[in-house]
Amino acid sequence: MRIFIIISALFVFSLRSQSQVMINIDSLTEKMCTTFKTEKLDNDSLRVMNMFSKHLTSYASKLTEQELDSIFSKCFFRLQLSCNEFKIALEQQDINKGDFSAVDTLLQSLATQNECSAFFKTQKFMYLEPTGDTTHVLMTKNSWTDHFKDGTISRLSLVRTNDYDFELTFIESTNFTRKNLSNAGDKYHYRILEKKENYYIMLLSIPGNSRRYKFKMYF
């Protein structure tokens, strides 16, 4: 991911502009994803550079450098939710130091009703980010708060939908990645797959995206 950020950021920082303009980020990233999927180049870094250049150059005379940087960051992270091809390219560039692994099917829960009940009675969890950093979670009956290594947080509401499934709705975040990744109201579906000695195996699903992620939540 780092090489993509550096290459694309160099492009964004080279642009200069002077006025504001309203941009529909999700519409823009949908077009960017199409470009990334259809315009094949020698390597993924060139594909990323081409994608940002093609879709952001037209804003060079309409946005300030700071605004362009903000738009770039938002697009970069939103693409990871909506564009599987882009996300896969990033994953191939980075070493995953966390517990997240991609799966293409909706896995069935093997957890018992008692194990699920114990999960929802637990307030403190932690999980490993793909970077290897530990994120701590404070969970209540209707809320979920991520506490990140740098002292930032994310707040989400929680609704339990059955014995082993629950839904998180993003509210706000002070974390750079999370606030660019999610918009207020975005929903994330979680499933308790199995309970082990000191962790639960979880499944994360993102509405509208066929790719899912299995990971561990330690307690």
Q: How far apart are CA 70 and CA 28, in angstroms?
A: 14
Question: Does an H or E element contain 32, and which?
Answer: helix 25-38
> b vs e for 172-209, b when ≥16 Cβ sit within 10 Å of the residue's Cβ?
ebebebbbbbbeeebbbbbbbbbbeeebbbbbbbbeee
State residue 67's pLDDT score: 87
Which two three-digit tokens encode residue 5?
Answer: 């950020």
What type of residue sits at position 218?
A: Y
pLDDT at 6: 46
**pLDDT for the residue numbered 17:** 40
Give pLDDT tens digits for 161-199. 999 999 999 999 999 999 999 999 999 999 999 999 999
* pLDDT given for residue 5 in this prediction: 52
Comparison of pLDDT for 119 and 4, the residue scoring more: 119
Note the CATH number of domain 101-218: 2.40.128
CB 100 within 8 A of CB 130: yes
Q: DSSP string spanning 122-182?
A: --EEEEE-TTS-EEEEEE-SSEEEEE-TTS-EEEEEEEE-SSSEEEEEEEEESSHHHHHH-
Reported as a single tens digit per residue, the pLDDT across 81-114 is 999 999 999 988 877 888 999 998 999 999 999 9
- φ, ψ at 193 (rounded to 5°): -90, -40
Q: Tell me: the pLDDT tens digits for 45-71? A: 899 999 999 998 888 778 888 888 899
> Which part of the chain has CATH 2.40.128?
101-218
Answer yes or no: are the C-beta atoms of 195 and 118 closer than 8 Å. yes
* Pair of tokens at residue 179: 């606030």
Closest CA to 153 of 170, 172, 140: 172
Q: What is the pLDDT of residue 63?
A: 84
Q: What is the pLDDT of residues 200-214, one digit of tens each?
A: 999 999 988 888 999
